[in-house]
Amino acid sequence: MKKKLSLFLAFGFLSLHGAWAGVHYGLGTAVAHQSAVAIDAANDAAIASQRPVCTDAPYTVSPLDLTNGFNLEPLGHLAPYSHTLPTEHIYFLIVKSSADTTSYDVRAPADILITRVSSSELLFSTPTYKDYSIYYDACRGVNGYFHHVLHLSADLEAKLGNVDRNCSVYSDGSARVCNTDTAILVNAGDVIGNTVGRVGSNLVGVDFGTHDYRKAPLAFADPSRKGADQLHTVCPVDYFPESLRVQMEARLGTYDGSVHRTAAPVCGEYNQDIAGSAQGNWYVNGTPPGPVQQENATLALVHDNVDPTRGVLSVGQSVTASGLSSGPYYFTPSSMGLVNRDFGGVRDTDTYCYESPGLISAVILIQMPNSTTLKIERQGLASCGAGPWSLTSNATTFVR
Amino acid sequence: MTFLGALLLASASVVSADEKTPCHSLSLGAMYKGAQVHVGLGARWAAEARAQAGNSGSDVGQIDASAYGMRLYRYFHAPTRLRLLMGVEGAATRSSASEVSYKTTGTALGAFLGAEVYATRRLSFNLDVGPYFLSTSVKDSGISQSGMEIVINSSINLYLL
């Protein structure tokens, strides 16, 4: 009897263990739960199928009024450690005086279906700072988003209701993020929100990203590190009619408009990976499998998004053993040799040395033991000299 | 889980009571949003027909579901005040959304372990738990969903024979 009871309790414990999808009281409840998931998926698919077929230029209205003097920063912006890897969006930016609090409307670039609105509140700011991300479907297969919309339009806010739903706080307590799924149709040119200059800040603007599922996924060296949308990143500027596209392309460059990008592609590059070489995105050894959201433990060996003739070591917060601080380290690439070698040419197991004005009495060494592993180390040398150099146990290992 | 364990342990203390053999041939039962007819097939086997409803929230409003199934029970021993049991269940399922036209059909297959406790010769309570594989298709959409779920069942049974 005791044996049977033990068997029964063991079965119950194993059955309720976390490997299962869920625990339900009654088969009817379990069926209802699964049916709800299936019906939600069917409803999402039905909404998506009702979106219009995309044209070559689905966007018809600039989301921010270009006559206000906005500059556009291309894809691939670097700002480690939050953006250690090249960004998947462009920026609409205006330089302003720190006291300027002018508001700029953000408009729907097409007849869009808003599918999600997220709020992000920075809890360490005093007072706390909150802004919104708006995600939308533009047409069948093309979606996009805006980040850093400071206020939602009154109309959108009324349709959304309470947006402080499905909230979570970052593990370090730095931010509170809430997500509201929705399905709100908005006409091209309608105001969906605004961005406002903050006192003390010299910039105002929004992030603008677009994904096109009609196109083949980007060929990252390790695609598993990117989400489905990210793999279909495109330049939003390319989705406007020619008259607008020409105006926007003329504004692609630095945040202040002082330097314009002229090298093709003028909208920059999100994916700069070259498999088998050092160029591209790297993830610190031990990074859990799957898409990487937080970029503090990553490394990008890429080119500048405005002047791609400049090389950049974009370093997150994980090269600590050798004391290399997070930051972008720029240099002028060389097409040969072991010093400041362009990353695309680093394809063997030699140790390469990099000098950058951002380094004070130090150099950066990299070495690839194999095609998917890269070691990096800061060493306290005044310059690279002629080499050879050897990495020590202080080197940090990245993989992809 | 704690509740399940406590109930079983408490029930175990009454199993040694020397009572007249409980009825076990035919019962009508009620469960959470459902009903059942239970037929004993000798001392250690039984079959049961059952129907049960349920509901859940979704993006398109409430989903109302129902499951119509058959259970086969195997008891660990002849009828006493406490009978530990195991069994399998197969059911046809369907559901509909209350505010839009979506409907689903599907199947459920599961196994369970449990116990039946007699309060009197004719009145018993049943509690079981087990893994169920559920498969659901949304009509006219091409969307389907399947997966494992843990299902807890309880019922009260009135034995007629």
The answer to whether A213 and A142 have CB atoms below 8 angstroms apart is yes
Is the ipTM above a cut-off of 0.90? no
Residue A13 reports pLDDT greater than 50: no
Mutate to test the interface with A, among B32, B62, B70, B150 (most CBs of A within 10 A): B150
Residue numbers in A near B117 (CB within 8 A): none
> Helix (H, G, I), strand (E, B), or coil: what is residue B19?
coil
Q: Mean pLDDT for chain A?
A: 91
Collect the ranges in chain B with pLDDT lower than 50: 1-18
Q: How far apart are CA A246 and CA A7, in angstroms?
A: 73
Q: Supply the pTM of this predicted model.
A: 0.71
The answer to whether A364 and A354 have CB atoms below 8 angstroms apart is yes
A177's tokens: 């993020």
Of B59, B134, B152, the CB nearest to A31: B134
The answer to whether residue B101 neighbours chain A at the CB level (below 8 Å) is no
Residue numbers in A near B12 (CB within 8 A): 1, 5
**Contact residues, A window 139-198, toward B, CB-based 8 Å cutoff:** 181
> Helix (H, G, I), strand (E, B), or coil: what is residue B1?
coil
A216's tokens: 């083949």
Lowest mean pLDDT among A52-56, A235-239, A366-370, B90-94: A52-56
Lowest mean pLDDT among A1-15, A237-251, A382-396, B39-53: A1-15
A338's tokens: 């072991």
> Does the N-terminal peptide bond of residue A81 adopt cis geometry, omega within 30 degrees of 0?
yes
| Predicted pLDDT at A12 | 46
The answer to whether residue B29 neighbours chain A at the CB level (below 8 Å) is no
The average pLDDT across A344-358 equals 95
Residue numbers in B near A23 (CB within 8 A): 149-152
Query: Cα torsion for A69, A72, A73, A75, to the nearest 10°?
Result: 170
